Structure 1
Amino acid sequence: MTNLSNHQLFTLMFIFEVGSTTLFALGINAKQDAWIVILIALLIGLVFVWIYTELQNAFPDKNYAEIIISILGKSFGIPLILFYILDCLWHTARNLREFGELINLTTLPETPLWIILSLFLSVSVYTLLKGVETLARASEIIFPILIIFMLSIYILIYISGDVDFKKLAPVLGNGIKPILQTLPSVVMFPFGEIFIFLMYWHYSNDKSSVRKTTAKAVLYSGMLLCFSLIIDITVLGPKFTSIATIPFVETLRLINIGNIITNIDTIGIIIIFFGGFFKMSIYLYAIITMLTTIFKLKTYKLTLILFSIFLLWFSVAFEPSYAYHIWMFPFDVHYFTIIYSNIFPLLLLMIYWIKKKRAKL
């Protein structure tokens, strides 16, 4: 039986939330007020944490696929789970492609993309073949390294003298409208994505603390992302932050302390790599668990290997370039993923409440 401690769940969720978000300037369409977007989205995200954990509390020993079938029955539940698998495939392929492109752009420009993706995916598959507990233990090791790296980077950026807080002014200079327009995408990415842990919370060895642990992970990661974006804007300015390929890396490249401490963007790439690895692995394990749940498959390892081969092909074939990948992001958020991460869980909870109330009559 798989058992995860509160600390293991916390570190998994924290690293997952940071994940690929450092590749993007979240809410930057609101310009210098993007940090306000993150804070509001964080508060809304905590409301959805309550919704997700309420579903889990109703079925403490079941994963999300089993919860869906329990609420909707097999006739409606299995088709919905298949759509969830497609959604998670989309996320996993995009995450894999993101970090392949990152390595290709920054460190290995001459290496074929498919080789980078193969190596990256192989590490994930090897870890998952050992079980989700191995992934959780790895997150406990990586978590303090991630925090130390991030804190060190913030200190070095401040010491280098490139931070100018005047770039955050004027607050609400363009009114509230840009914030409201940008808000839905940030609510979903990254905070709404925490719904995927409905596939993991039933492994907790202290189910009464799942909600508290999840809320802490979302809150702390949200604060970190908000601070990181403030640093990007105060160093690069809102205009350059919005057009930079990877704002976080561009910020690190400006660090120069006495011509001694320079070119530390490699640390930023390592941070992004860690986040990407765990985010992709968490989605990948969720997909395999969904497949084995609805099709009653006994061969977890074979399913994982075969699906990973398909995932590699899909991530290479579907997107012709990184520019196309970025272009697809608004469509991904507004017309696709938000339905799965925010709308469906709420509807499922409402249906469960209605069925529970009728059963008492």
Structure 2
Amino acid sequence: MKKIQIDAKEMISLMMLFELGTSMMSIPGRDAGKDAWIAILIAAGLGALLFLCYGSLHRHFPDLLMTQYCKVLLGKTAGSVLAFLYIVFFLYGGARDLRDTGILIADRTLQHTPLTIVCVLMIGLVMYVMHLGIEVAGRTGLMLLFLLLLLGFATNIMILLSGIVHMSNILPIAQHGWQPVWEVVYSQALMLPYGEMVTFAMILPTLKKGYRANGVGVTAVLLGGAILSFVTLSNVVVLGEDVFKRATYPLLSMISKVEISDFVDRVDVIGVMTVIIFDFFKIFIFYYAAVKAAEDVLRVSYHKLILPFGLIMLVSCVLMAQGYQEHLTTGKFVLKWVFPIFAVFFPFLLLMVSWLKKFRNKKERSMPRESSS
């Protein structure tokens, strides 16, 4: 069977699409108010360090998925249990993002369509791309990211021409000190989206030989973080701190203010489509990681798992919350208390075990030479 391979540009594109998916919509770190853009920059720097952990594990096991080296490092039983927990983690992440996207579409474009129907349509499209494979997603993602960045540049030009930018809205910086900023970094901005990048531990083995996973990942994290921070800064200078914190979708609220004479208005439609595309790829990545993990753990072929896992994600998406407020409250809880376990604790545990095994093996190899001398 031909080995699936993705080059560095395609991998960076998928990572940036994943990173900006739902983050562009919800803007992590909004509790920091007008300093949210700083919190995102700090989180991006920490996220780059965090990715070095995932990249180091990949360097130790370049041809293995995360679920596979879990069993190598922890033993078959404990490793399989941890692999199963990651399947649940990936499915939950995908289901949350599916619900987020469904709510956006139902609220902004298909107001009279039930949320369940919107989510069915969305997961159906994702399942279709799942059948096409990660290579097709990588090539498509590269083209769409380039197009979306061009649209973003054009939108920023229109925002400047509209005369709605008020730089005084970000002053004074750190008015209430730096503690609130750091609290937001820990509780929100680091895990969403940088902690979620642990998902790429299931995709890095597809990176073509000759490319360094750490370089690719850190580049994507820092570029995506810079874009997200700039978008957040733009939201604040256009909307002001109060509206920025209260708006359901700050990005769309900002874009809806764009109006150049009677020639250009209703640019928010572009914003909605942009956010949907970003979200689509994030759902796909979570879905793909869950299916690949299950393929390894359950020993069932990839294509046979696409439909049942799509149904599980759909049902989870619909049943995970009674309403929007409960959905947000649960999201804040899991970001602060659950995601760090999967994004920080388990990966660093695996890395330490890997280092210890490597050190022990090196020591055992040197012992015969010492005894013979």
What TM-score comes out, normalization by structure 1 length? 0.97
| Distance in 2 separating the partners of 1:344 and 1:333 | 15
**Letter paired with 2:238:** V
SS in 1 for 2:15: helix
The percentage of aligned residue pairs carrying the same residue is 29
- Which structure has the larger Rg over C-alpha atoms? 2
| Distance in 2 separating the partners of 1:266 and 1:323 | 25
8 Å Cα contact 2:92/2:316 also seen in 1: no
**Letter paired with 1:247:** P
**Letter paired with 1:254:** K
Aligned match of 2:196: 193
Q: Bigger CA drift: 287-296 or 129-138?
A: 129-138
| Distance in 1 separating the partners of 2:214 and 2:304 | 33
| Distance in 2 separating the partners of 1:193 and 1:316 | 21
Alignment of 1:228-267 (within 5 A): 228-267=231-270
Distance 1:138 1:208, change over 3 A: closer
Please tell me the root mean square deviation across aligned C-alpha atoms, in Å.
1.1
| Distance in 2 separating the partners of 1:99 and 1:241 | 20
8 Å Cα contact 1:37/1:183 also seen in 2: yes
Aligned match of 2:79: 77
Which of 194, 214, 219 aligns to 2:217? It is 214
Deviation string 1:28-55 (CA, Å, 9 cap, x unpaired) is 2122111111111111111111111000
> How many residues are matched?
360
Aligned match of 2:370: none
8 Å Cα contact 1:50/1:211 also seen in 2: yes
Q: CA deviation at 1:360?
A: 2.2
Residue 46, structure 1, aligned to residue 48, structure 2: yes
SS in 2 for 1:55: helix
SS in 2 for 1:85: helix
Runs of 4+ in 1 over 6 A off after TM superposition: none
8 Å Cα contact 1:15/1:143 also seen in 2: yes
Q: CA deviation at 1:207?
A: 4.7
| Distance in 1 separating the partners of 2:66 and 2:279 | 23
Aligned match of 2:97: 95
Which of 117, 137, 148 aligns to 2:119? It is 117
Q: CA deviation at 1:248?
A: 0.5
SS in 2 for 1:26: coil
| Distance in 2 separating the partners of 1:85 and 1:347 | 18
| Distance in 2 separating the partners of 1:95 and 1:39 | 23
**Letter paired with 1:266:** V
Aligned match of 2:183: 181
Distance 1:216 1:197, change over 3 A: same
| Distance in 1 separating the partners of 2:110 and 2:152 | 24
8 Å Cα contact 2:8/2:211 also seen in 1: no
Alignment of 1:323-342 (within 5 A): 323-342=325-344
8 Å Cα contact 1:99/1:276 also seen in 2: yes
| Distance in 1 separating the partners of 2:220 and 2:362 | 36
Q: CA deviation at 1:323?
A: 2.3
Q: CA deviation at 1:347?
A: 1.3
Alignment of 1:1-361 (within 5 A): 1-184=3-186, 185-298=188-301, 300-361=302-363
Q: Bigger CA drift: 41-50 or 219-228?
A: 41-50
Gapped regions of structure 1 (runs ≥ 5): none
Deviation string 1:200-235 (CA, Å, 9 cap, x unpaired) is 111111354222111111111100000000000001
Q: CA deviation at 1:111?
A: 0.8
| Distance in 2 separating the partners of 1:99 and 1:222 | 21
